[in-house]
Structure 1
């Protein structure tokens, strides 16, 4: 059982109805704290992003460094920054060896559902370092509530991989540096391989290089529309990926991934039709061997692919990309008409292509 205690300390007011508040719930005999940020203009049932700090950090610190408030303002979702209390070497972190923090996050979700009418099908977990480890723990133990995860520079160390048995295919978008000495990149592959198998992904990953600074591996679509994406950054040490060094925002990328993966199905609906095709940005698109290739002579910041039913099959956020070819993998057996939408600083365009 747990009880809710909102301290109602006002942390920030950026516009009418946009607030961040501290709150607490009692889980068992322990009082757990968090910061919840609620933008103005939220829909009736907004999504929820649970953003978890690394070892020695705090919800407040991760709020400042991750930039999720700004994304929540733009995309209209609630974001919560919980505080870990598990002690490791004298620092606060997350308990990935038992279910104490799983119980906390589960209770936190239930609490925020009641207070903010959260959409139960759109609850997502992300975290840096040990917060990333906790994201995997939730995928293993709370897949009935967590729709998708976005770990950065973190996965569970030790033998937890043998006991991880997710109840459903869990979409994963992971970012990691190849020179990470704190949470080594070299053993990340075993966790990715586990979820590739449990998600029912088949075949080799599609490997692309969005920029010279990082590589992308993509598995999917897998069972129930799930996907696995691994971004690895050559030469990067332990850290949270930001735009300043790698032309890549982990937080923006995770949200773009999350919003096409609700819990109740593998895709999210949008409305796109041939009659509303836009041509602000010059765009060419083609498909060969299951890979849609795009080319534009102008800045592309966001790319999405949807089918004729309006379901988003692929979405990606880019930063500072000019004159690029962007390869988008799709199921080779999924013949039909697709709509490719790109947006950038100069406008947007939608191209219709036939896959056969």
Structure 2
């Protein structure tokens, strides 16, 4: 009898132990599952939302770019890509702050990419005044560092796209480029020389310096600029920062007409937007479904449309750039435009 009672006690003990362990396992599983949903929403490959810096070798140079992975990124679904080129003297972080493409990416579910230009001293941080990062925009302007150093930025952008495709599930029909100032001119350049890899471009406040290099395939263009931009004068002219000349820019309308002719667009435009001093004109339809869209923002200086600098922004730069404007949000307009265009 004693042995029988002792056996029952041991059996009850083992059953309780097994039940307790199973309960702990269930609780831990539910906890892990709930944490996974919060921390890695739609992240089957373990890439969490946020900013990532990547380095690649381009010839003898090490180049960098930042990728903002959106909240809704899903490795199982190809993502569109927006490449944003910062202005001359700027950085990827400047472009993130001033354009808000990272926030737009979170809402739109695409990858926002911010390449870094090259600088004279790569071992020291970029500085607008002392170690500026620039792009070789094809302008032949010796005062632009990347132009003077003959940096192959087109090769860098092509390698960047290859690296992106290797790291992420990229929709290669929906890779777009945009940029500001010197970065806008770089956007024009890749729109011509890498048109086979891009679906549309949207340069802002910069010039298309290239004349002899024909566009490879029809690619849609959206262009934005302020009517009071001292560094991208709407009527053209020589550009100075202090006593240094940064070249003679053509009238903005001349640049637009160059693309209208290249894409075989109608000679006459139609008004697609007219509000609060902002006018949008479209030349459409053009070759193979492409189009040219042109926005002017009345009274705006050399700024990304929609960004208002904080009070701490250097006054000497404000004096150079003129007045900002939030009459229209450039990032919103550009993304809406991009969504209407993809490679066939």
- Report the TM-score when normalising by structure 1: 0.66
Q: Choose the corresponding residue for 1:38, options 50, 69, 86.
A: 69
Aligned length: 248
Aligned residue in 2 for 1:117: 169
Equivalent residues of 1:177, 1:234 under 8 A apart: yes
Aligned residue in 2 for 1:92: 133
Aligned counterparts of 1:116 and 1:196: Cα–Cα separation in 2: 35
Q: How does 1:18-37 map to 2 (within 5 A)?
A: 18-37=49-68
Higher relative contact order (CA 8 A, sep 6+): 2
Aligned counterparts of 2:113 and 2:162: Cα–Cα separation in 1: 13
Q: Structure 2 vs 1, CA of residues 18 and 181 (structure 1 numbering), >3 Å: closer, same or farther?
A: same
Q: Structure 2 vs 1, CA of residues 209 and 121 (structure 1 numbering), >3 Å: closer, same or farther?
A: closer
Q: Choose the corresponding residue for 1:82, options 115, 118, 123.
A: 115
Aligned residue in 1 for 2:25: none
Deviation at 1:147, TM superposition (A): 1.0
Aligned counterparts of 2:234 and 2:262: Cα–Cα separation in 1: 21
Q: Choose the corresponding residue for 1:182, options 231, 240, 243.
A: 231
Deviation at 1:247, TM superposition (A): 3.1
Deviation at 1:118, TM superposition (A): 0.7
Equivalent residues of 1:149, 1:170 under 8 A apart: yes
What do the CA deviations read for 1:86-105 (whole angstroms, capped 9, x no partner)? 55985211011267101000
Equivalent residues of 1:213, 1:246 under 8 A apart: no
Q: Choose the corresponding residue for 1:146, options 170, 178, 198.
A: 198
What is the SS of the residue equivalent to 1:121?
strand
What is the SS of the residue equivalent to 1:127?
strand
Give the RMSD, CA atoms, in angstroms. 1.9
Aligned residue in 2 for 1:213: 277
Q: How does 1:181-260 map to 2 (within 5 A)?
A: 181-186=230-235, 187-242=251-306, 245-260=325-340
Aligned counterparts of 2:285 and 2:297: Cα–Cα separation in 1: 23
Equivalent residues of 1:47, 1:78 under 8 A apart: yes
Aligned counterparts of 1:28 and 1:243: Cα–Cα separation in 2: 36
Aligned counterparts of 1:86 and 1:197: Cα–Cα separation in 2: 35
Aligned counterparts of 1:29 and 1:48: Cα–Cα separation in 2: 27
Q: Structure 2 vs 1, CA of residues 233 and 247 (structure 1 numbering), >3 Å: closer, same or farther?
A: closer
What do the CA deviations read for 1:237-274 (whole angstroms, capped 9, x no partner)? 1111107634311111111101111022xxxxxxxxxx
What do the CA deviations read for 1:18-60 (whole angstroms, capped 9, x no partner)? 1211111010000001111111322511001101100110011
What do the CA deviations read for 1:311-354 (whole angstroms, capped 9, x no partner)? xxxxxxxxxxxxxxxxxxxxxxxxxxxxxxxxxxxxxxxxxxxx
Aligned residue in 2 for 1:68: 101
- Report the TM-score when normalising by structure 2: 0.68
- The list of structure 1 runs, each at least 4 consecutive aligned residues, that deviate by more than 2 angstroms after superposition, is 14-17, 40-43, 86-90, 207-210, 243-247
Q: Between Structure 1 and Structure 2, whose CA radius of gyration is higher?
A: 2
Equivalent residues of 1:86, 1:94 under 8 A apart: no
